[in-house]
Every structure is written in C-alpha cells, then in structure tokens.
C-alpha cells in the first residue's frame, strides 16, 4: 500500500518540487549589497511556499488517512454485513485482464453465454478473507455448469493478491485492476462487492459483503433456471 501511495505522490507532485531558474539563482548567488531589486528572490521564495502549501496540506491529509485506515487507501469501505443493492438491469461494463495464475485473458467476451459472478475484493479485506474458502468451494460445485467467477483485485499489490489466492485455494480466474478503472466503471464503493451477470451479459444482481454459500448457490441457481429453455 505504501509503495502505491509513494508512486502516486511522486507522479502528482514531483514536478512542482523542481525549483525554477529563478530559485536556483537565488540559492547560489553571492550576498550583495541591498538594492531595490535585492528582495526579488525573497518574493519568489514566498510565492513558492504559498503555492506549495495546498500540496503539502493534501499530502499530510492523505498520509494521515492512510495510517488511520490501516493501509486501506482512500478510505475504501469494507462491508462486514451482507446486503442486496437494487440495480438497473443493463449490460455489464467491460473488464479485461491477464489472469494472475496463467497467461490467458479474461474479459466479457470470454464469459459470453454464462452466468457470471464478478467479485471485487482486496487481500487485506477481512470480510474478503472470511468468504474466500466458500467462494472457491461453490465455484468447484458448478464446474459442469455454464457458470464463471471472475475475481478483480482492487487497491492491492500483485504479490499480496497471489498469496491470497494460494492461501484460500482459489481456482477461478483473477485479475488486477491496478488503476481502478474497472471498479469505477462498475460503481464499486467497497469490498467485497459482487455483481451477477445473466447469460446475456447484463447485471441483474448486486450484493455487498461476505456471502454465505447457501445464498450464493441460490442466486446462481435462479440465474441458471432463468436462462434454460423449458423442457430442456
């Protein structure tokens, strides 16, 4: 988490910390007798400090927030209680990435015609750890059905995510959302957060928090039944 924050800070504020030519002249110029223009470097310094004050304040606020949230950047919510969220049935936003335990890509096209659970999670999330074994178990139970799970790790380090996958025996495809673009497109506000897609690739259910195996099976069975042809 700290490395992600430092990289972001360096990219955002690094250019502002490079002193302009005027400031370099001020640093290295010899002391000269007072003159009408001798206070110009001082004025430049005052302007520079005033300009940087908001940046310094923002950096301090972000650092404080990172520490207070125990490594959870940006105050991302962690859902400890499960709850259904009303959704507008619509085509699912795109997701696309190379699976962490393999070389193939997983995206919307790859799961076309299947019932899909898209799970946004983080390895540091306690609720995500609580449900990890159950998700892996239910996924194995539906191996013969047209069902797919896709885990999308957000606000996480690749190494931590890989350890999470290995520790809980997760075999369904997982990808990294390193810049958060996919999470934003889905409107994710916290972890764990699940979106259920029907066979037509439309979002039909949204559930926050750790899901019990029985509830997960119920949702999947309902979506499978809705897509079957009567008498088939």
| pLDDT in the model for residue 112 | 96
Residue 39 has pLDDT above 50, yes or no: yes
Across 9-38, average pLDDT: 47
Strands 90-91 and 83-84 turn out to be: unpaired
Contact at 8 Å (CB) between 124 and 71? yes
Report whether 101 contacts 165 (CB < 8 A): yes
Asked if 128 and 192 touch (Cβ cutoff 8 Å), the reply is yes
Strand partners, 175: 152
Q: Which residue has the higher pLDDT, 173 or 24?
A: 173
| Packing angle of the helix pair 126-141, 213-227 (nearest 10 deg) | 50
Question: Residue 82: what pLDDT?
Answer: 76
Residue 2 has pLDDT above 90, yes or no: no
Residue 60 has pLDDT above 90, yes or no: no
- pLDDT tops 70 at residue 73: no
Both tokens of 203, joined, read 């979002």
Burial class (CB in 10 A: 0-12, 13-18, 19+), 81: exposed
Mean pLDDT of the chain, nearest integer: 79
> Alpha-carbon distance 109 to 197, whole Å?
13
Contact indicator for 165, 174 with CB cutoff of 8 Å: yes
Residue 69, pLDDT > 80, answer: no
Q: Which of 117, 120, 109, 103 is nearest to 176 (CA)?
A: 120
pLDDT at 132 exceeding the cut of 60:
yes
Residue 120 predicted with pLDDT over 60: yes
Pick the CATH number of 77-227 from 3.40.50.2300, 3.40.30.10, 3.40.640.10, 1.10.275.10: 3.40.30.10
């Amino acid at each position: 988490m700290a490395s992600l924050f430092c990289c972001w800070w360096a990219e955002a504020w690094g250019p502002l910390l490079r002193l302009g030519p005027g400031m370099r002249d001020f640093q290295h110029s010899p002391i000269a007798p007072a003159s009408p223009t001798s206070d110009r470097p001082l004025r430049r310094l005052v302007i520079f400090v005033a300009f940087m004050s908001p940046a310094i304040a923002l950096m301090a606020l972000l650092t404080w927030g990172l520490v207070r949230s125990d490594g959870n950047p940006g105050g991302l919510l962690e859902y400890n209680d499960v709850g259904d969220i009303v959704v507008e049935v619509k085509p699912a936003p795109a997701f696309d990435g190379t699976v962490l335990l393999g070389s193939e890509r997983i995206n919307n096209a790859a799961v076309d015609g299947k019932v899909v659970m898209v799970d946004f999670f983080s390895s540091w999330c306690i609720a995500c750890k609580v449900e990890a074994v159950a998700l892996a178990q239910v996924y194995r139970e539906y191996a013969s059905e047209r069902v797919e799970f896709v885990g999308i790790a957000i606000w996480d380090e690749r190494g931590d995510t890989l350890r999470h996958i290995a520790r809980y025996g997760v075999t369904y495809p997982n990808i990294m959302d390193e810049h958060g673009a996919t999470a934003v497109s889905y409107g994710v506000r916290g972890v764990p957060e699940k979106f259920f897609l029907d066979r037509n690739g439309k979002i039909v259910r949204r559930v926050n928090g750790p899901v019990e195996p029985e509830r997960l099976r119920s949702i999947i069975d309902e979506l499978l039944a809705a897509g079957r042809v009567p008498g088939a």
